[in-house]
Amino acid sequence: MNILSWVIYIPLQILFLPIVILGALLVAYKQIVVSKKLGLSMTAIEVINGRWTMHIFGMREDKATVSLAAALPNTSLFGLWLCLFPLWIKHKISGRLALYPRVPELGSETIADLIVARTLYFDRVIERAVGQVDQLVVMGAGYDMRAYGKLQCKNVSFFELDQPSVQTHKLASLESSGIASEHVTFVSVDFGNENAVERLIESGFDTSKKTLFLWEGVTLYLSEADVRKTMGDIRNTAPAGSVLLADIYAERFIAFAGKGSRKKTLDQTGEGLDFGLNFSTNHDEVLSEFVESESMSIGETFFMGRKNDKGPFVVVVEMTIG
Ligand SMILES: C[S@@+](CC[C@H](N)C(=O)[O-])C[C@H]1O[C@@H](n2cnc3c(N)ncnc32)[C@H](O)[C@@H]1O
């Protein structure tokens, strides 16, 4: 079946090329132009598009993402279907994942795997850690739907932090897609100008309870000073045993993704890239030095693309407090 799937996929993909281009244009228009017009995050759309794709290809059940994505004005599911249809047909015939989306071997990820692999690594740590905490804080939540899926049955209080415009829009979209959100406390914050933990406390965050902080796809948009300040605020407030789970990017990724036409696109929604670490040599040591300089200790790590001669392009890192 695998050979048959390639025999059907290759001509179908070639025939579909104009349709794929049309789909990509539709997705890009919604993501860039509509997000800019509505003052929303276009990078958060990239993530929900990736997680929608994972669900559609049977990699990760996430019905809440599918419902929310259908209600968002700044993505086009029709466009995504046009882009992915030949790959989806191939997947249906072979029952396997190939090209995109796929589950790469740890260390062999490419930039095309970023959202999919990062989501899987975050999921893995969350699944283990969530049973040991009482609160879960999604920082820079965007359209993350973890608080509305299977984690909801865990005995934890949920908080979501984001910029006011993104958060207000998410709340309205949750309501219009009929997704209950009463169990989540929404706290608007700008990591650059505010103390995120103070804002959390004002909203009922309990500083005596162990907490899992998710900071997925956010540090790269902040300055090093703002990343360190937020880490310090968490360390000084959350009790021992709390965990900060984040992705931290290589300087080479920031330089590559933050220049040329990609930079111009990111500038449209004020999402220029900034913080990164130099992972070109001794990436383990570089990460340890950074995390220990903030008086946290390293738990599990996933260095993505570490088999590349230039070193990993990002790490998903579990950092423990106390
Ligand atoms: C790439 S999205 C990631 C969304 C989400 N964490 C996920 O994985 O689905 C980045 C998010 O960070 C938020 N963000 C970026 N800079 C921020 C800041 N200075 N303060 C608060 N949120 C910020 C954006 O609004 C956006 O929702």
Residue of 163, 171, 245 with the most ligand 1 atoms within 8 Å of its CB, for mutation: 163
Q: Residue 236 in 3-state DSSP?
A: helix
Q: Greater confidence, 313 or 193?
A: 313
Instruction: Tell me, yes or no, whether 100 lies in a domain.
Output: no
Q: Are residues 88 and 125 in the same domain?
A: no
pLDDT of residue 43: 95
Whether 105 is in a domain gets the answer no
The pLDDT of residue 271 is: 84
Strand bridging mode 211-215 / 184-188: unpaired
Residue 297 and residue 227 in one domain: yes
Task: For residues 133 and 213, give the distance between their C-alpha atoms in angstroms, rounded to a whole number.
Answer: 10
Domain that holds residue 8: 2-94
- Residue 23 pLDDT > 90, yes or no? yes
pLDDT at 261: 81
| In a domain? residue 104 | no
Q: Give the CATH number of the domain where residue 184 resides.
A: 3.40.50.150
User: DSSP readout, 207-234?
Assistant: TTS-EEEEETT-GGGS-HHHHHHHHHHH
Q: For the segment 261-304, what is each residue's pLDDT rounded down to a tens digit? A: 888 888 877 889 999 999 999 999 999 999 999 999 999 999 99
Report yes or no on 101 lying in a domain.
no
Cβ pair 87, 80 in contact under 8 A: no
Question: Which residues, including other chains, have CB under 8 Å from residue 75's CB and lie 6 or more apart?
Answer: 27, 30, 31, 45, 48, 49, 69
> At which of 66, 94, 122 does a domain end?
94
Kind of pairing between the strands at 243-249 and 184-188 = unpaired
Identify whether residues 20 and 76 lie together within a single domain.
yes
Residue range 121-141, pLDDT digits in tens: 999 999 999 999 999 999 999
Q: Which of 44, 66, 94 is the last residue of a domain?
A: 94
How far apart, in whole angstroms, are the C-alpha atoms of residue 245 and residue 242?
Answer: 10
pTM of this prediction exceeds 0.85: yes
In-domain check, residue 99:
no
Q: 75 in ligand 1 pocket by Cβ < 6 Å?
A: no
Does any ligand 1 atom lie closer than 6 A to the CB of residue 217? Answer: yes
Which residue is listed with tokens 């017009």?
37
Residues 40 and 161 in one domain: no
50 Cβ below 6 A of ligand 1: no
Q: Are residues 234 and 304 in the same domain?
A: yes
In a domain, 300, yes or no: yes
* Atom 8 (ligand 1) nearest CA: 216
Cβ of 246 less than 6 Å from ligand 1: no
In DSSP terms, 249 is beta-bridged to: 314
Per-residue pLDDT band for 108 (boundaries 50, 70, 90) equals: very high
Q: What is the pLDDT of residue 56?
A: 98
Judge if 147 and 78 occupy the same domain. no
What is the tally of structural domains in the chain? 2
Q: Are residues 86 and 192 in the same domain?
A: no
What is the pLDDT, as a whole number, of residue 267?
81
pLDDT band per the 50, 70, 90 thresholds, residue 46:
very high
Same domain flag for 140 and 289: yes
* Domain termination site, one of 68, 94, 120: 94
Question: What's the mean pLDDT when you consider all of the chain?
Answer: 95
- pLDDT at 258 (0 to 100): 78
Ligand 1 pocket check for 52: Cβ under 6 Å: no
Flag whether pLDDT at 10 surpasses 90.
yes
pLDDT, tens digit, 9 for 90 and up, residues 194-250? 999 999 999 999 999 999 999 999 999 999 999 999 999 999 999 999 999 999 999
The pLDDT of residue 259? 80
* pLDDT of 153 higher than 90: no
Question: What is the pLDDT, as a whole number, of residue 156?
Answer: 96
**What pLDDT score does 177 carry?**
95
Q: Is 294 helix (H, G, I), strand (E, B) or coil?
A: coil
pLDDT at 59: 97
| In a domain? residue 103 | no
* pLDDT for 1: 81
Name the residue type at position 250: A
Do both 306 and 172 map to the same domain?
yes
Question: Which ligand 1 atom sits nearest the alpha carbon of residue 214?
Answer: 6
Tell me: do 129 and 193 sit in the same domain: yes
Helices 63-71 + 42-56 axis angle, to 10: 130
What pLDDT, on a 0 to 100 scale, did the predictor assign at position 105? Answer: 96
Residue 153 class from Cβ within 10 Å (0-12 exposed, 13-18 middle, 19+ buried)? Answer: exposed
Of 98-102, 164-168, 175-179, 257-261, the least confident = 257-261
Q: Which of 243, 298, 268, 251 is nearest to 133 (CA)?
A: 243
What DSSP state is assigned to residue 30? I
Strand 157-162's sheet: what is its strand order?
184-188, 157-162, 135-139, 211-215, 243-249, 314-321, 296-304
Residue 118 located in a structural domain: yes
Claim to verify: residue 81 and residue 177 sit in the same structural domain: no
| Cα 27–Cα 313–Cα 316 angle in degrees, nearest 5 | 90
- φ and ψ at residue 269, rounded to 5 degrees: -115, 20
- Atom index in ligand 1 nearest the CA of residue 138 equals 6
One domain, residues 153 and 57: no
Amino acid 270: pLDDT: 81
